[in-house]
Amino acid sequence: MYIDFNRKNDCLIVKLIGELDHHSAEEVRVKIDDRIDRNNEEKLIFDFSSVSFMDSSGIGVIIGRYKKIMMRNGKVAIADVNSRIKRVFELSGMFKIIKVYETVEDAIEAM
């Protein structure tokens, strides 16, 4: 799992690349939390365009970052999710609390 961080319109964009599973979840959590804390981020967009696999550990990573951002009265969005990953999100009920957008640009505009 690789992570690419970008900023646009005061949003932290986290592009996840590879598999978000129990092997990578802790490292992903630590790196994202570090960036959130270091820059006092309040708007977070997860770019899932390059995620090939995700399990329940990935759900935990996303929910944890959601809670962290919500404690700052911020906003979280998920963008560019393929059909396999979208199914995992739907089964978890995640889309009931976090908005999903077709593209990162759509998410930025909505923030």
Structure confidence at residue 25 (pLDDT):
95
Secondary structure, 3-state, the chain: CEEEEEEECCEEEEEEEEEECCCCHHHHHHHHHHHHHHHCCCEEEEEEEEEEEECHHHHHHHHHHHHHHHCCCCEEEEECCCHHHHHHHHHHCHHHCCEEECCHHHHHHHC
- Which portions of the chain are predicted below pLDDT 70? none
The pLDDT assigned to 33 comes to: 97
